[in-house]
Amino acid sequence: MSALRLDGVTLDIDGKVLFQPLSFSVEPGNVTSVVGPSGSGKSSLLAYLCGILPKEIQGRGAVYAGDKQLTDLATERRALGLLFQDSLLFPHLSVGGNLLFGLRAKQSRAARRQRVNEALASVGLEGFADRDPATLSGGQKSRVALLRVLLAEPRALLLDEPFSALDDDSRARVRSLVFAEAQRLGLPTLLVTHDMEDVAAAGGDVIELRHPQDKQGI
Amino acid sequence: MLRKPPIIILLCVSVIPTSAGVLAALWSGLDPAALTRVLATPGVGLSIASSIWSGVIATGVSLLLAHLAVALAASGGWRARLNGFALPLLAMPHLAMGIGLALLLAPSGVLLRAVSPWATGFDLPPDWLIVQDPAALSLILGLILKETCFLIMALMAALAQVPSAELQLQARALGYGPLKAWLAVTAPLLQRQIRLPLAAVLVFGIGNVELAIPLGPGLPPTFSVMLWHWFTNPDPLINAQAYAGTVLLLLATTTTLAFMAAANTLLTRLLRRTAESGRRRSHDGFARGVARSVLIVGWSTGILAIAAILLRSAAGPWRFPALLPGGDWLSRWLDVLPVAGSVAATTIGLAVATALCGLLLVLPAAERCRRDRRTRAIVGAWLFVPLLVPQMTFLFGMQVLLVRLHLDGRIVAVLWSHLIFALPYLWGLLAPARATIDPRYQSVAATLGATPLRTWFTVTAPLLARSTLLAFALAFSVSVALYLPTLFAGAGRFATAATEAAASAGSGNLRLASVHGLLLAVLPLTVFALAYTTNSLLFRNRRGIPR
Amino acid sequence: MLAGQRTGRLLRVLAASVVLLPQVAAADIDEWETVVAEARGQTVYFNAWGGELAINRYIGWAAEQLRTKYDVELRHVKVTDIAEAVSRIKAENAAGRGRGGSVDLLWINGENFASLQRAGLLYGPWVHSTPNATLIDWQGNPTTLSDGSMATGGFEMPWGTAALTLFYDSQQVTQPLDDPTALLQWIEAHPGRFSYPQPPAFLGTAFLKQLLLVLVEDTDRLQRPVGDDFAQVTQPLWSWLDRAHPSLWRRGRLFPLSGPAQRDLLAVGELDWMLSFNPSEADRAIGQGDLHETIGALHFAAGALANSHFLAIPYNSSATAGARVAANFLLSPAAQARKANEQFWGDPTVLDTDKLSATQRRLFDVLPSGAATPPTPERFLAEPHPSWTTRLEQAWLERYVR
């Protein structure tokens, strides 16, 4: 795994710049938190990194995974795993179907199913493969969403406030699961959040999105 | 956004023939000599007048009933069931409804048979001028039954765009009865949204032949029926009258539309004044009861019309006052089966082709417009244009062009004409459906490595499946019901259920008309039933997909 | 069409109308073989009125026979009024389509034929080189040579002949009513039980012409073109109608739209009368269970309006050989006998049974004939000059459309 590097990344809506240009690096296995008031463009930053910015927002600056520049690639070639606040499990596929969708490995069907089952077992969701995603609890959905992203073998993990919809119990557990997996797989992780507990648990660098006029943060 | 290829193709298919047709009709029809002859025809003034008043009255009453229906359903919590009620009547082609009503309401029809002679003392059918009355009341009734359902659907679609539930709740909390709350708060918001469907209803009301042939006045007929007779007359002078007449029809329709727009503004103002009056009308139980009864009676009439068609198609010598036809009805049905068989094949083939081509045109364009509300609205409005022009006007013109291009009588021309009428409905159903799918699913799929094409097939399409099936059924029904386009573009060569029903109803042969009318009614209902069943089976083990 | 061609056609029309008794020369038989060979595999779009199930079925039977015997595909294009097809041919002519027209064979007569013939839009003359044409009763049935005072001239082939017949419910009509005065009295005594199809529907106009021919004294005047004395000549007709209308069905404010429509109304009991050009229509309807059994039939004693109907081929047909083969088949004794059989259609034949062989004649002898078929009329009345038709229809509309 290589580091995720941003170089002069900034966003603007109709010429209005959202935040001062960002240039930083996230080492493999580390979690860097991005904080800022609501509307400061945190989620849009992740969208820009993935290449899914809505057309009203313009983005500039380069993104690298190691030496490979990602900004020229189409979204589906960037291999950046994105986790939203809503788990966004495809409602028409089963839990296992969702995971198979994400699974990159080109193996036989049986082998792929095996991997999916193993993944589910590893997070305590054994036997959930044929379940309807709508029947899962919030915490369960988050775990499945995480598995889906990880099975896609991403270069880095981008987390867009993925824990804020969970109740306190699940929150802590899912959070530690995500960070543990990130570290285990050596994935550079970028966490967007407004919750200071998350920042503390991440334990890595903290980037504050500053409005262009600010000299210091709020 | 408008310049993207799928959208351009979509608009070209619809707008170009329509404009060309209208221009050709104007060019052929602006002939002073022919216009003079038209205006000198005995009864022409009454004919035009009856067309206009039947259209206006039917539109007004349908609007009122539609609002009442949706208001009652919204406050009573049975909005989903309202769809189910309106659908059979909506899916039934106009011609079938017309024939059915004629068979139901005539002095020798099912209603009077049911109560004679025990309640009425009639041994012979009374000589009452009910159906085809000069005041066009039976025509207006037929229009109301169909257009109310259409407007209900339009209102329901508009309702999705408006936070009606919250607003209604607010008004109720302030002490307003449900009907008054609806009128004061929700109706004005919806009126803006349904301007185009309402205009289409008015245009159809004025210019239709499908209901006017079986139900409209006879002496003189409504103006569009008069034009229909003139168009098929061999005398070239009379043909020229037909073209001149379509110009008059266009003029009458446009003028009435302008008045309707003014009336709409007045109506909104009136509603605002009612809202500001502060009168609560919280004890509207009686009014609601009346409204509910009217709606139930109307709906039952529509359903009974289908029953009337069924009975007449099986009947031989069916003397009044017998309620059920005697004789061997099964063999009479089997008798007409071979004839009905080939007609059914043509009708179904054409309808399936229309629906499939329509889907092929609309889905890519809807995909392009999924995030652009303004473009969706613009495309939707443009696709509606053919419905805002009297069919007869632009079809006459289109036929002149088709003959010159040697395309008349070809299946391509007929298919194209059917597409023009199916596209607005397909768009109206699928564009919003596509737009309401959470865009983040697409993003998620992309980040997981799926190409746009793979994403469409594996994520978007399944989520659109239910709407697509309904859209298919809708386009199918539209195609089955089309009469004038099949007649003109097809140069009379294609015998569909609609052309056969119109030909028989046009010569007053109700026995034959009921046979074709039955086919006409059964086909869309079957396809809708199939679509609904498939929809309920599809993804039945997935709760996360909205129905 | 070029002016020269049109003149040529007119000359041929005039020439053909002089010939009264056509004969098929020996050389023509070879020509016919070529026509039959050319017709193989052709599709013939036959534009014919489709408002009567029995007729549609008969045409379906003919199509089946043509397919198996001659490899000709006959497609029945059902029209509400043959005027639709006429206007289509004219539109094609206006658009310059001299070939590949959409109509190959037409079931036509009267004003529609006259209109196409005057414009030179018909193929032909072709009738006299059709083998079965020699069997037609040209001499005995004058309506085969002259269609509403316009000579058929070999441009249209007689297909069937008819006399206007009035059918009634014999339980309601108990005494003979074979003149207009008696009929009027019955109408006034039974309000709401009589009507006639609305002009310009074919049978409606025919009823007007029938009344006119019987009410007017100087019927020769009607064989000449209409003139300024129209109002004067037709006065007896309007007096009769003015008296009858208030007692008609729906008080004369609505009329049945066609013959079959009126038959429908008779079947359900709204009316006691119906009109038809087909004398065996009621029998056939009763046999098929479309009408109850107590039906009688009558002609006016002063004479019944006679009318033949024909087959014609448009100038721009792409399947003239197929159309001619189809027409020849429809004229064959077997097809004519089936057509005259009231179980199938009941339309009287145009063939002269004297010209047939013994076996062919037997086909006609064994035709069933029921109680509701009237005897042959004592007098056949020829149609008035076609110019009267349009004037009558116009005058009726002006008078009775409010």
pLDDT digits (tens, 9 = 90+) for C353-388: 788 888 888 888 777 667 677 766 667 777 888 788
Q: Which residue has the higher pLDDT, C17 or B10?
A: B10
Residue A214's CB is within 10 A of a number of other CB atoms, namely 12
**What's the average model confidence in pLDDT over C309-329?**
93
Q: What is the pLDDT of residue B16?
A: 85
State what percent of residues in chain C have pLDDT above 70.
90
From C75, C191, C264, residue closest to B509, measured CB to CB: C264
Q: Which of B135-144, B460-469, C338-347 has the lowest mean pLDDT?
A: C338-347
- pLDDT at site B251: 93
Q: What value does the mean pLDDT take over residues C7-29? A: 45
d(CA C142, CA C382): 8
Instruction: Give the sign of the dihedral formed by CA C207, CA C208, CA C211, CA C217.
Output: negative
> B449 contacts in A (CB within 8 Å)?
76-77, 79, 102, 104, 152
User: Taking 80 as the threshold, does the pLDDT of residue C26 lie above it?
Assistant: no
CB contact under 8 Å between B446 and A76, yes or no, is yes
Name the phi and psi angles at B508, rounded to 5.
Answer: 75, 5
| In chain C, % of residues over pLDDT 90 | 34
* Mean pLDDT of all residues in B63-91: 83
Q: Which residues of B touch C53 (CB under 8 A)?
A: 336, 339, 512
Which residues on chain B are in Cβ contact (under 8 Å) with C116?
Answer: 234
Q: How confident is the model at residue C149 (pLDDT cuts 50, 70, 90)?
A: low
How far, in Å, CA of B173 to CA of B364, rounded?
45
**Pair B225, B111: CB distance under 8 Å:** no
Q: Is A26 helix (H, G, I), strand (E, B) or coil?
A: strand
DSSP A79-130: -EEEE-SS----TTS-HHHHHHHH------HHHHHHHHHHHHHHTT-TT-TT
Under an 8 A CB cutoff, do B446 and A104 touch? no
- What are the tens digits of pLDDT across the range C209-253? 999 989 988 878 887 888 888 888 999 999 999 999 999 999 998
Among residues A13, A14, A15, the alpha carbon closest in space to that of A48 is found at: A13
Q: Do B446 and A134 touch (CB under 8 A)?
A: no
Residues 6+ apart with CB under 8 A from C76: C46, C48, C50, C56, C59, C60, C63
pLDDT given for residue C28 in this prediction: 61
pLDDT band (50, 70, 90) for residue C12: very low
Distance in angstroms (rounded) separating the CA atoms of residues C94 and C86:
12
- Residue C341: strand, helix, or coil: coil
Q: What is the mean pLDDT of residues C324-352?
A: 88
* ipTM of predicted assembly, 2 dp: 0.83
Q: Select from C302, C299, C142 the least CA-distant residue to C217.
A: C302
Q: Which of B170, B172, B169, B176 is nearest to B281 (CA)?
A: B176
For residue A24, give the H/E element and its range: strand A22-26
Closest approach of A47 to chain B, Cα-based (Å): 9
Q: Distance of CA B137 to CAs B212, B294, C28, C325, Å?
A: 11, 17, 63, 51
Question: Taking the mean position of all CA atoms in its chain, how far away is CA B38?
Answer: 29
**pLDDT tens-place string over residues C268-311:** 888 999 999 888 788 878 877 778 888 888 888 888 888 888 99
pLDDT of residue C92: 87
* A148–B448 C-beta distance less than 8 A: yes
Backbone angles phi, psi at A202, to 5 degrees: -65, -40
Q: End-to-end distance of chain B based on CA atoms, in angstroms?
A: 30
pLDDT of C10 over the 50 cut: no
Helix ranges (DSSP H) in C19-153: 26-39, 53-70, 83-94, 110-118
Residue bearing tokens 């989903």: B80
The overall longest dimension of chain C from CA atoms, in Å, is 64
Chain B's closest residue to C49, CA to CA, is: B503
So what's the pLDDT on residue A214? 59
CB atoms within 10 A of CB B165: 12
Instruction: Classify burial at B188, counting beta carbons within 10 Å of its beta carbon; exposed 0-12, middle 13-18, buried 19 or more.
Output: middle
For residue range B502-532, list pLDDT tens digits in order.
Answer: 988 887 788 888 888 988 999 999 999 999 8
pTM of the predicted model, to two decimals?
0.80
CA distances, C280 to each of B324, C163, C345, C369 (Å)? 28, 11, 8, 8
Q: Please identify every stretch of chain A with a pLDDT value under 50, giving residue numbers as ranges.
A: 217-218
Confidence of residue B2 (pLDDT cuts 50, 70, 90): low
* pLDDT at position C157 over 90: yes
Residue C11 has pLDDT above 70, yes or no: no
H/E element, C146 = strand C146-147
Max mean pLDDT among A208-217, B72-81, B419-428 falls in B419-428
Give the DSSP per-residue string, B476-490.
HHHHHH--HHHHHHT
Chains A–B, number of C-beta pairs less than 8 Å apart = 78
Per-residue b/e over C33-58, b at no fewer than 16 CB within 10 Å? Answer: eebbeebeebebbbbbbbbbbbbbbb
B543 contacts in chain A (CB < 8 Å): 91, 132, 134-135
pLDDT at B80 over 90: no
What number is the average pLDDT over the span B230-240? 76
pLDDT band at C15 (very low <50, low <70, confident <90, very high): very low
CB A164 within 8 A of CB A86: no
Average model confidence (pLDDT) for chain B?
A: 86
Beta bridge partners of C220: none
More confident residue, A54 or C59: C59
Which of these, B89, B99, B91, B88, lies nearest to B138 by C-alpha position? B99
B contacts of C198 (beta carbons < 8 Å)? 218-219
3-state secondary structure of C294: coil
Instruction: Give residues with Cβ within 8 angstroms of C384, minimum separation 6.
Output: C148, C149, C209, C212, C213, C222, C223
B320 vs C contacts (CB less than 8 Å): 268-270
Confidence bin at C1 (pLDDT 50/70/90): very low
Minimum distance, in Å, between the CA of residue B543 and any CA atom of chain A: 6
Cβ of B463 within 8 Å of Cβ of A92? The answer is yes
In chain C, the N- to C-terminal Cα span, in Å, equals: 42
Query: Cβ–Cβ of A134/B542 closer than 8 Å?
Result: yes
Residue found by looking up tokens 């927002």 in the block? A57
CB-CB neighbours of C61 under 10 Å: 15
User: Taking a C-beta distance cutoff of 8 angstroms, is the pair B63, B143 a contact?
Assistant: no
**CB-based contact B234 C115, cutoff 8 Å:** yes
| Nearest chain B alpha carbon to C45 | B493
